[in-house]
Homo-oligomer: A and B are copies of this chain.
Amino acid sequence: MSVGRITIRVRYTECDPMGVAHHTAYPVWFEMGRTELLRAKGTSYRELEAEGVFLAVFSLDVRYRRPARYDDSLELETRITKTGVAKVCHEYRLLRDGELLTTASTTLACLDADGRPRHLPEIITAGADRS
C-alpha cells in the first residue's frame, strides 16, 4: 500500500495551443492520485470530509521534464513520504510507457471544519513509511 498507481487519459480540454497538456492540469491529476491512494486504504476523502477532516494543500512543487500530449495514457505513482502530527507529504511520478515525464511533491495540512490544525487520522498514514 506504500505506492498508489492510477491511469490518466489526457483530456482535450487539458491541452493548450502548443498541443500538450497545460501545466495547470498536472496538480489536478496529483489530487486524483491522493484520492485513489486513500480509497485503496479503505476510506475516501469524501468520508473524511463528512467526519470533519479536511486536507488543504500547503505547498506544491512540480518539475516538468517532458510534455504529456492529448489522449496519452499516463501512469501516476503517488507515495506518502513523510507525516507529521497535522501534515502529510506526498511524492508523485508521472510516466508514459515507462518514461518519466514529471515529478512533484506536496505538503498537506490537516484541518478541522473551522480551518484549525487537527491530528491526521491514522487511516491516512496506514502503510506509509514514517519519517
Residues of A within 8 A of B (CB): 9, 11-13, 15-19, 22-24, 27-28, 31-32, 35, 44-46, 49, 54, 56-64, 67, 70-71, 115
- As for how many copies of this chain the complex holds, the number is 4
State which of B16, B44, B59, B64 has its C-beta within 8 Å of the C-beta of A16: B16
Interface of A is mostly: mixed
Contact in complex: A17, B22 (CB < 8 Å): no
Known A13-B28, A22-B13; judge A59-B56 contact (CB<8 A).
no
Q: A11-B28, A11-B32, A60-B61 are in contact. List 12 more A-B contacts (CB 8 A).
A: A9-B32, A12-B31, A12-B45, A13-B22, A17-B18, A23-B57, A24-B31, A27-B27, A35-B71, A45-B71, A56-B67, A67-B115
